[in-house]
Amino acid sequence: MTVDLHDYVATVENFPEPGVNFRDISPLMGDGVAYKQAVDAIADFAKQLNVALIAGPESRGFIVGSPLAYTLGIGFVPARKGGKLPRKAVSASYTLEYGGVNELEIHEDAIKPGQRVLIVDDLLATGGTINATREIIEKLGGIVAGVAFIIELEDLHGREKIMEAGEVPFLALMEY
Ligand code: PRP
Ligand code: ADE
């Protein structure tokens, strides 16, 4: 059975601040068929890219990245929000569609030079989160082999921002 994933996205106007249309994937995660379909579609993309690791930014990137890594039988690298990691880490800061400036960090031994990494997240908005994750991976000597999302918010031009940092294979399961 194949479902229309759009039916599992809840849109909330003016959240968390006026002018933002929040695209909530909670219904998709809460449905076993839709969640598996989304993860499997990203897994098909990942299989073409010969990746050694999946990386995902805190926190919704973990919801996509962990089952994906498990499905593929490879490791998952969390990019955590600033100040959470206990060991030496590399960081990058970025600006959000809402909520100001943030910082992400990855443990410095999480990625070995030359390893191919797929970055995943639930949603691409301005691209700040993904470009910060990418910056850290590249600082560690990793190769960003691709980027994948459940949702892309086209009006915010995140895809262009990613490609400005260097062309990479791109997948978005839904566009809004
Ligand atoms: C959301 C979303 C993406 C990011 C996209 O996360 O899950 O990670 O924003 O925005 P961008 O493309 O403009 O950077 P958020 O920072 O709200 O954190 P959360 O996952 O903890 O809710
Ligand atoms: N993260 C950044 N912008 C978002 C939006 N409009 N909906 C859900 N998550 C987001």
Annotated catalytic residue within 17, 23, 80, 97: 97
Long-range CB contacts (within 8 A, 24+) of 37-44: 37/2, 37/3, 37/5, 38/5, 38/64, 38/150, 38/173, 39/64, 39/67, 39/68, 39/71, 40/71, 41/171, 41/173, 42/68, 42/120, 42/148, 42/150, 42/171, 42/173, 43/68, 43/71, 43/72
- The candidate with the shortest Cα–Cα distance to 26, out of 155, 123, 133, 147, is 123
Rounded-to-integer distance, Cα 169 and Cα 162, Å: 10
The response to whether residue 56 sits with its C-beta less than 6 Å from ligand 1 reads no
**pLDDT tens digits for range 36-48:** 999 999 999 999 9
Instruction: Enter the ipTM.
Output: 0.98
The response to whether residue 135 sits with its C-beta less than 6 Å from ligand 1 reads no
Instruction: Write the residue with the smallest CA distance to atom 21 of ligand 1.
Output: 59
In the reported structure, the alpha carbon of residue 93 is separated from the centroid of ligand 2 by a whole-number distance in angstroms of 18
Q: Which residues are within 8 A (CB) of 164 and not within 5 positions of it... i.e. 6 or more apart?
A: none
Per-residue confidence in pLDDT tens, the chain, 176 aa? 899 999 999 999 999 999 999 999 999 999 999 999 999 999 999 999 999 999 999 999 999 999 999 999 999 999 999 999 999 999 999 998 787 899 999 999 999 999 999 999 999 999 999 999 999 999 999 999 999 999 999 999 999 999 999 999 999 999 99
Per the annotation, the verdict on 97 as an active-site residue is yes
- Considering only the top CATH level, what class is 50-175? alpha beta
Domain boundaries, the chain: 50-175
